[in-house]
A and B are shown apart, each in its own frame.
Chain A
Amino acid sequence: MMVLSIDDVYDSSIREIPIIGTLKAIYKRRGLLRLLIARDLTLRYKRSVIGIWWSLLNPLLTSLVLYYVFNTVFKARMASGTSFAPYLLSGMLISTFFNQGLTIAADSIAGGAGVLTKVYVPPPIFALSATISTAVNFFMGLIPLTAIVYVSGQSLRLRTPAVVIVALCMVLLTTGLGLLLSLVYIRFDDSRPLVQLILLMLTYMTPVFYPVSVLGPHTRAVIELNPLTSTLNVFRDMFGRNAVATLGDWLYMSGTSVLIFCLGLYFFNRMWPKTVAML
């Protein structure tokens, strides 16, 4: 048998620097992170015939339905030069990323109890692997989106590759919120239906299928507080020209996602020792 020689010392009296300490611990286990992402993707696609496209079926079909329902209503209200089909599909892709990433991240920790109560693994690794594999899904969705963009007589732009930054911000945002949500899931048995309801309300508070111009000034002010509204402006500006992304949108998107990620990580680490005892 081989002897493991790791000069790791665990001393419970050493307090780690809150957020940096966790990031370091995750970086140290990056091999595991890669493996978990591969596992998530394998499990999601192995069992279905159409493979990776399965997870896109939902946003694509929902988009189709919404298109038939709302096309006539909102077409007239769309700004000139924009097109409803790519506007709608890009909205669905971001909203699916948010809802899926968030719930899968929370479930990965709440469901990883078997491992997390027995072996030391930084729990945020599970959330991060869930959101990164959701990002892979999102990138697959860019293929049909690009097709719709060209069908609508628009084209991709020089700034399109910066979609990687959008995905990164979404990963940070959903990981931070997913960590907090996992604490709620573990502590309160009956929280899931309520969370689903809140997520549905959030979806309606995001301009996924309606143009912001149909809203009154007060509603509009509220909707623009939603970080996903800025994210959508940035994203829609990249695939065709279905929104105008200002510098403010870029800053709000990246600022809120980094902030929520850090807050999520901080509160999660503070609450985790008490929560793990409940698992």
Chain B
Amino acid sequence: MSLPVVEITDLALAYRRTRHRVASLKQVAIDSIKRKVAFEQFFALSGVSFTLERGEVLAVIGRNGAGKSTLLKTLARVLPPTKGRVIVRGHVAPMIELSAGFNHELTGAENVVLYGSLLGRSPKEMVNRLGEIGEWAGLLEHLDIPLRAYSSGMIARLAFATATDAIPDLLLIDEVLSVGDADFREKSATRTASMISGGSAVVLVTHDLETVRNLATRALYLEHGKPIAAGAPDMVIDRYLADLHH
């Protein structure tokens, strides 16, 4: 029996923010003269604990600002926890706002190699995978032209194909299953399913409760960063809907 892919114990994440989200030097100067550089600490997450095994799909639901995306960033090790402990074993592939790592002046092929390397794979390996990635995205003939000549649909396809080229130990999905046309959505859903059956653990953030019912094996409902309900998807969704209608 292998160890769980994710172990989170009593995770808390606090942001210290100024009243203005990004401060200006002028504002700080004025505030410090008035002697009130106001920082407020607020907890984006607190008291979150769970473990996740291979093949499990955890759906995280909740209203906007409940801390869902923050949880994904913590798992992607972008944000270190303020309290508690996070352990992630193996390769993490984030599928969060695809194409963030794309550059429009570079060719499709250059972008695939760069994007894959940013996701933690070796450039050499990515060069070898170019053919298959291009073929799955249906863009094999377009790989040598700059990305600025691509349509947004083509870019989304290429980004999805690159991010899902290999089966990671942990897959993080943030609302990306809804990109592209119906054809592409079906193709990408099949691919996501084969990654889950291939042994990935998945954390999925979405507002689409139908997707949660279909894909998730468990669900977690967050409100103001705190876990309200966790367990079987149907039960958690019912609780969430009950709260929404109040």
Q: Report the Cα distance A61→B232, complex, angstroms.
A: 70
Q: Name which of A2-10, A65-73, A200-208 contacts chain B.
A: A2-10
Which A residues are CB-close (under 8 A) to B105?
A: 43, 46-47
**Which of A101-158 touch B at CB < 8 Å?**
114-121
Q: Name which of A32-40, A91-99, A226-234 contacts chain B.
A: A32-40
Q: Report the Cα distance A274→B77, complex, angstroms.
A: 14
**Which of B64-100 touch A at CB < 8 Å?**
73, 76-81, 84-92, 94, 96-97, 100
Chain A window 8-44, contacts with chain B (Cβ cutoff 8 Å), 1 for yes, 0 for no: 1111110000000000000000011011100100110
Q: Name which of A78-86, A183-191, A215-223, A250-258 contacts chain B.
A: A183-191
Are A277 and B23 within 8 A (Cβ)? no
Are B117 and A42 within 8 A (Cβ)? no
**How many residues of chain A are within 8 Å of chain B by beta carbon?**
43
Are A39 and B106 within 8 A (Cβ)? yes
Are B123 and A12 within 8 A (Cβ)? no
State whether A39 and B103 are in contact (beta carbons under 8 Å apart), knowing that A2-B167, A3-B199, A118-B94 are contacts in the complex.
yes
**CB-CB nearest in chain B for A42:** B106
Residue in contact with B113 in the complex, picked from A13, A35, A115, CB distance below 8 Å: A35
B145 in contact (CB, < 8 A)? no
Are B76 and A120 within 8 A (Cβ)? yes
Residue in contact with B22 in the complex, picked from A119, A121, A189, CB distance below 8 Å: A189
CB distance from A49 to the nearest CB of B (A): 16
Q: Report the Cα distance A66→B157, complex, angstroms.
A: 52
Are B77 and A10 within 8 A (Cβ)? yes
Which A residues are CB-close (under 8 A) to B124?
A: 31
Which B residues are CB-close (under 8 A) to A186?
A: 22
A276 in contact (CB, < 8 A)? yes
**CB-CB nearest in chain B for A186:** B22
CB distance from A258 to the nearest CB of B (A): 27
A1 in contact (CB, < 8 A)? yes
B245 in contact (CB, < 8 A)? no
Are B97 and A118 within 8 A (Cβ)? yes
Q: Report the Cα distance A123→B15, complex, angstroms.
A: 20
A248 in contact (CB, < 8 A)? no
A247 in contact (CB, < 8 A)? no
Q: Report the Cα distance A32→B122, complex, angstroms.
A: 7
Are A277 and B15 within 8 A (Cβ)? yes
**Which of B105-133 touch A at CB < 8 Å?**
105-106, 110, 113-114, 117-124
Which B residues are CB-close (under 8 A) to A115?
A: 100-101, 118
Are A120 and B77 within 8 A (Cβ)? yes
Q: A32-B117, A119-B119 are in contact. List 18 more A-B contacts (CB 8 A).
A: A6-B91, A12-B84, A31-B117, A31-B124, A39-B114, A42-B110, A43-B103, A43-B105, A115-B101, A117-B78, A118-B94, A119-B76, A119-B78, A119-B118, A120-B77, A120-B78, A273-B79, A276-B79
